[in-house]
Chains A and B, each alone.
Chain A
């Protein structure tokens, strides 16, 4: 039921809207269309990001992917957390505020691992925040910890270009602007590598999608 609801919402309504009105160009890899369990990793500049990524998922995965979102932003009150869980399928977690707060951090990671073990897929923005348009913040460690603890699940790198210009942080007005969603092929990590190595690997595999494409 949820799948059909999401299909109508994302594939029939939001995708054409994003494509024609907002100007999001979807460059989707064939490898992604196979069903499976993934951890989708993308850079983050705008609220459009999660919606655009959900809009390019294959039908079989539509209700399986949970964007990981900050509870302090999307779970401010009951309505907001209900809306983000109902319409975006969001998984709300505690955002690590200071780097040293290890306890909080592991609680969020545990929650994500529990979801993965149930066979669900996750969509993670490791930058942790949208930041300024066009700027890339340093990736947080959590994604590497997650990948290392479940190395059998591949990650799908997605590079989002210019979505921050269509709907930037701190401005609620949507202005049409050509942006791009580059979807890469699923990649398995080497479980022997260290957290830092995995983190750099994930980061480079996202940003090299940009240079490999036709647009610059």
Chain B
């Protein structure tokens, strides 16, 4: 009996390499911290520990069983949605409607599980769009209606509908001669999104001079964005075997992931800026809440999904 029945040779090799790199990074930061403790290196070390947690979670969530995969990503989506909606100050009169929107999460992930593409695509964008005002009208209170309708639906679209695309990779039919399988495609997406974040952060810190969106996020620079773009494409080239894509497709996919990840990052930044908060929560040490970590993935999983679907299945 295998512990991780969904894990295959290709993905295992890549994961092994990622873990090796992470070990080296942890050791280097740990050594620097022992020799010359400083605040910067401590926060970097904290971030590295969080990466360990994230990679362990990724393996547990994706490799144990298909059912567990959908349930755990549904749970993640639930936590993200709750984190987002709790900041939005939904009036107490609308809390029954809010409860119903929570019920949409298992349904959406169930559609992904049963590979029902039509319902998967329409349930939240169309179904919930009409259901939210319906339930809210039954409550008989008009105060804050526009804001509640739009915030609830937009929250569902962003953290549930958008994010559930990541699980649909498992629902797509397997491509023949693709050794890494759908798990490989998923790892390709998640890994490139996350390293893109890291590359943008590093390039921004080292070379960053021109601010790209000073009103939204003062930390984002043109140099960081371009550096991340180039390095992500470069990394994507080595990950070619994970997704069933040829050279040019891999390059374009890496570009799209990098750009949409950047936009997702700015999207969350502008929400936080608007609310006047620094982090969306305090779940992951050094990273803030779950939305602070998922921000770029929320966007890149959707863009990459449709690009991939177009290339392979249309």
Q: 15 new A-B pairs (CB below 8 Å) besides A23-B79, A25-B282, A175-B96?
A: A23-B83, A23-B86, A25-B281, A25-B283, A133-B92, A165-B86, A171-B92, A173-B95, A175-B98, A175-B102, A179-B86, A214-B278, A214-B279, A214-B282, A216-B277
B82 interface residue per 8 A CB criterion: yes
Partner pick for A23 among B75, B82, B98, CB 8 A cutoff: B82
Known: A25-B281, A214-B282, A215-B282. A175 touches B95 (CB 8 A): yes
A162 interface residue per 8 A CB criterion: yes
B214 interface residue per 8 A CB criterion: no
Across the interface, which residues of B come within 8 angstroms of A175, CB to CB? Answer: 95-96, 98-99, 102
Residues of A75-109 whose CB lies within 8 A of B: none
Complex Cα distance, B279 from A214, in Å, reads 9
B277/A176 in contact, CB under 8 A:
no
Across the interface, which residues of B come within 8 angstroms of A215, CB to CB? Answer: 277, 279, 282
B176 interface residue per 8 A CB criterion: no
Q: Residue-by-residue, is B253-292 near A (CB-CB < 8 Å gives 1, otherwise 0)?
A: 0000000000000000000000011110111000000000
Closest to B86 in A: A178
Residues of A138-186 whose CB lies within 8 A of B: 162, 165, 168, 171, 173, 175-179
Chain A residues with a Cβ under 8 A of chain B: 20, 23, 25, 27, 133, 162, 165, 168, 171, 173, 175-179, 214-216
Closest to A132 in B: B92
User: How many contacts between A and B, using CB within 8 angstroms?
Assistant: 47
Q: Residue-by-residue, is B86-117 near A (CB-CB < 8 Å gives 1, otherwise 0)?
A: 11000010011011001000000000000000
Complex Cα distance, B78 from A187, in Å, reads 38
Minimum C-beta distance from A79 to chain B (A): 28
Q: Residue-by-residue, is B186-229 near A (CB-CB < 8 Å gives 1, otherwise 0)?
A: 00000000000000000000000000000000000000000000
Across the interface, which residues of B come within 8 angstroms of A173, CB to CB? Answer: 95-96, 99
Complex Cα distance, B87 from A179, in Å, reads 10
Complex Cα distance, B96 from A146, in Å, reads 40
A27/B282 in contact, CB under 8 A:
yes
B82/A178 in contact, CB under 8 A:
yes
B92/A165 in contact, CB under 8 A:
yes
Complex Cα distance, B75 from A168, in Å, reads 24
How many residues of B are in contact with the other chain, CB < 8 A?
21
Across the interface, which residues of A come within 8 angstroms of B86, CB to CB? Answer: 23, 162, 165, 177-179
Q: Is the interface of B mostly helix, strand, loop or mixed?
A: helix
Known: A27-B282, A216-B277. A178 touches B98 (CB 8 A): no
Complex Cα distance, B78 from A215, in Å, reads 21
Q: Is the interface of A mostly helix, strand, loop or mixed?
A: loop
B92/A177 in contact, CB under 8 A:
no
Complex Cα distance, B85 from A193, in Å, reads 44
Residues of B44-70 whose CB lies within 8 A of A: none
Complex Cα distance, B78 from A23, in Å, reads 10
Minimum C-beta distance from B229 to chain A (A): 32
Closest to A179 in B: B86
A171/B95 in contact, CB under 8 A:
yes
Complex Cα distance, B155 from A178, in Å, reads 15
A178/B281 in contact, CB under 8 A:
yes
Closest to A170 in B: B92
Minimum C-beta distance from A182 to chain B (A): 11
Minimum C-beta distance from B151 to chain A (A): 14
Residues of B278-314 whose CB lies within 8 A of A: 278-279, 281-283
Across the interface, which residues of B come within 8 angstroms of A176, CB to CB? Answer: 78, 82, 102
Minimum C-beta distance from A176 to chain B (A): 5
Closest to B85 in A: A177
Closest to B288 in A: A214
Known: A25-B281, A25-B282, A216-B276. A165 touches B95 (CB 8 A): yes
Q: Give 10 A-B contacts (CB < 8 Å), ordered by A residue.
A: A20-B75, A23-B79, A171-B92, A171-B95, A173-B99, A178-B86, A178-B87, A178-B281, A179-B86, A216-B276
Residues of B157-208 whose CB lies within 8 A of A: none
Minimum C-beta distance from A78 to chain B (A): 33
Across the interface, which residues of B come within 8 angstroms of A178, CB to CB? Answer: 82-83, 86-87, 281
Complex Cα distance, B276 from A44, in Å, reads 26
